[in-house]
Amino acid sequence: MRLSPLLGLCLLVASPAMAASGLAPAVKADYDQRLGALVDWFHRNPELSYMETKTAARMAKELRAIPGIQVTEKVGGTGVVAVMKNGAGPTVLVRADMDGLPLKEASGLANASTVVQTGIDGVASPVMHACGHDVHITSLVGTAMRLVAMKNDWRGTVVFVVQPAEERIGGARKMLEDGLYTRFPKPDYALAFHVSSSYATGTLVADPGIRYSSSDSVDITIHGVGGHGASPHQTKDPVVMGAEIVMALQTLVSREIAPLSPGVVTVGAFHAGSKHNIISDRAHLQLTVRSDDEAVRKTLLDGIKRIAQNVGRMNGMPEDRLPEVALSVESTPVTINDAALTTRMRAAFTAAFGEDVLKSPPRTGMGAEDFAYFVQPELGVPGFYFNVGGTPQQAFDAAKAGGPPVPGHHSPLFKVDAEPSVRLGTEAMTVAVLDLLKPVAATP
């Protein structure tokens, strides 16, 4: 049958829906034959941020086993980059994070981690995948497997990024500093997803705008004059100064930020002293600061320094002994989904999976993500970050009826249902890449 010239001009070789029609059974077969065992191995063998040597080696091995992929290890530390080229076309970056958390797993899963590892801080601790990164990296392998099998349906380049140290929000920046966008093809689009225990399996959250807040870790060192607890008048008590700082910090959000602009200043640690009757000469505060735009972020960070130093002055400390405020390397901007790209991806998901798969729940916290570094405006790379539901609906129903609550991320009880999470994550990411790299038929 000869196509009309008009039809030939607009005909696509393969739409995402057409290409994805056999995707679910193929991913199911991949899971049964390879991905299921892989996610089990990752869950049993978690590693801390910047220490993911075994995980990175396993990912490099798995990706090298897929035809047509060039793999580079030790990018930005333990990061892995795998490039798959398939003719002329755009470049899409697919990112998955791989680090675990310093927690002793109490999930009750048969494959619960028993790993103990010494982190970069020199402290030995139990380690678990308490945020689902084992799902992310397994799905990345699954996506690579499907794209190789479906090379007739797309044209272009895919850059698979296995990123370290997301939990310390530093791995993305280190990979960029090590030449991610210069040593390897610079992407036209960047994609990532996060499995979520807060959403039911079989659902996707793919909304435009802000997906994650900025995050800054701040350390405050408070200098004082130590002495005997029975003679406080002879001292400058850093504990009292620390308490004054903690309370004054609460006014930053309540009195300096507009009521409709979210912000968080949390003091997560307060360390001082060694004995009941000794007034220390030093105290140390550790803070996490969250916001949804750069203006609020600057106001909070500037305010923290102002409050801390002026509390020192108020207590009579000399200028060279005022509290020291230091911004940690654990810092990341706001993660924002590009509006046009998100609209396109939502349409692709709807075509492939139906309208019911997409949910738009409200944000319930100010979590952060260093994926933001890959899509900063000055880099010119639009980004799309979506969520995959990880908890069976029955668990939510049971919790609502008075049963055990569904554990959240970063909890020793955290768990997601691995198979539906890996499978939908793989299917959705494959659909997204196919849509962005779909070839256009030549005009007859």
Residue type at 146?
Answer: R
What CATH number is attached to the domain comprising 287?
3.30.70.360
Residues 86, 220: one domain?
Answer: no
What CATH number is attached to the domain comprising 163?
3.40.630.10
In this prediction, residue 201 has a pLDDT band, given cuts at 50, 70 and 90, of very high
Catalytic residue at 99?
yes
Handedness of CA 63, 64, 67, 71 (dihedral sign): positive
The mean pLDDT value for 48-70 works out to 97
pLDDT at 2 over 50: no
pLDDT at 15 over 50: no
In this prediction, residue 306 has a pLDDT band, given cuts at 50, 70 and 90, of very high
To the question of pTM greater than 0.75 for the whole model, the response is yes
3-state secondary structure of 382: coil
Residues 24, 156: one domain?
Answer: yes
Residue 441 is predicted with a pLDDT of 64
Residues in the chain: 444
Residues 255, 403: one domain?
Answer: no
| Residue 444 exposure: Cα atoms within 13 Å on the Cβ side | 12
DSSP result, 63-122: HHTSTTEEEEEEETTTEEEEEEEESSS-EEEEEEE---BS----S--TT----EEE-TTS
What percent of the chain shows pLDDT beyond 70? 94
pLDDT at 184 over 90: yes
Residues 228, 359: one domain?
Answer: no
Residue 328 is predicted with a pLDDT of 82
3-state secondary structure of 196: strand
Is residue 84 a contact partner of residue 158, using CB atoms and an 8 Å limit? Answer: yes
pLDDT single digits (tens) 341-359: 999 999 999 999 999 999 9
The mean pLDDT value for 287-291 works out to 96
In the block, residue with structure tokens 């939908």: 424
Residues 328, 338: one domain?
Answer: no
Residue 105 is predicted with a pLDDT of 98
The mean pLDDT value for 277-289 works out to 97
Is residue 204 one of the residues assigned to a domain?
yes
pLDDT at 8 over 50: no
In this prediction, residue 364 has a pLDDT band, given cuts at 50, 70 and 90, of confident
pLDDT at 13 over 60: no
Alpha carbon distance 130, 46 (integer Å): 9
CA distances from 357 to 206, 238, 349 (A): 10, 54, 8
Is residue 221 one of the residues assigned to a domain?
yes
Domain final position from 264, 297, 332: 332
In this prediction, residue 21 has a pLDDT band, given cuts at 50, 70 and 90, of low
In this prediction, residue 291 has a pLDDT band, given cuts at 50, 70 and 90, of very high
Residues 137, 10: one domain?
Answer: yes
Q: Which domain holds residue 297?
A: 214-332
Residues 96, 192: one domain?
Answer: yes
CA distances from 148 to 65, 142, 145, 191, 199 (A): 11, 10, 5, 18, 30
Residue 44 is predicted with a pLDDT of 98
pLDDT at 10 over 80: no
In the block, residue with structure tokens 């010119």: 380
Is residue 444 one of the residues assigned to a domain?
no
3-state secondary structure of 335: strand
The mean pLDDT value for 156-181 works out to 97
Residue 444 is predicted with a pLDDT of 53
**Pairwise pLDDT comparison (181 vs 17), residue with the higher score:** 181
- String of b and e for 285-309 (b: at least 16 CB within 10 Å)? bebbbbbbbeebbebbbebbbebbb
Residues 264, 352: one domain?
Answer: no
Catalytic residue at 207?
no
pLDDT single digits (tens) 253-262: 999 999 999 9
pLDDT at 18 over 90: no
Residue 263 is predicted with a pLDDT of 96
How many Cβ atoms from other residues are within 10 Å of residue 424's Cβ? 25
How many Cβ atoms from other residues are within 10 Å of residue 260's Cβ? 5
Query: Given 47, 62, 99, 237, which residue is catalytic?
Result: 99
Is residue 203 a contact partner of residue 359, using CB atoms and an 8 Å limit? Answer: yes
Domain final position from 302, 332, 362: 332
Residues 86, 174: one domain?
Answer: yes
Dihedral pair phi/psi, residue 220, rounded to 5°:
-120, 120
Residues 232, 376: one domain?
Answer: no
What percent of the chain shows pLDDT beyond 90? 92
Is residue 89 one of the residues assigned to a domain?
yes
Alpha carbon distance 388, 367 (integer Å): 16
Is residue 443 one of the residues assigned to a domain?
no
Query: Given 166, 167, 244, 417, which residue is catalytic?
Result: 166
Provide the mean pLDDT of the chain: 94
Residue 382 is predicted with a pLDDT of 98
Residues 389, 411: one domain?
Answer: yes
Residues 288, 369: one domain?
Answer: no
Separation of first and last alpha carbons in the chain: 12
pLDDT at 36 over 50: yes
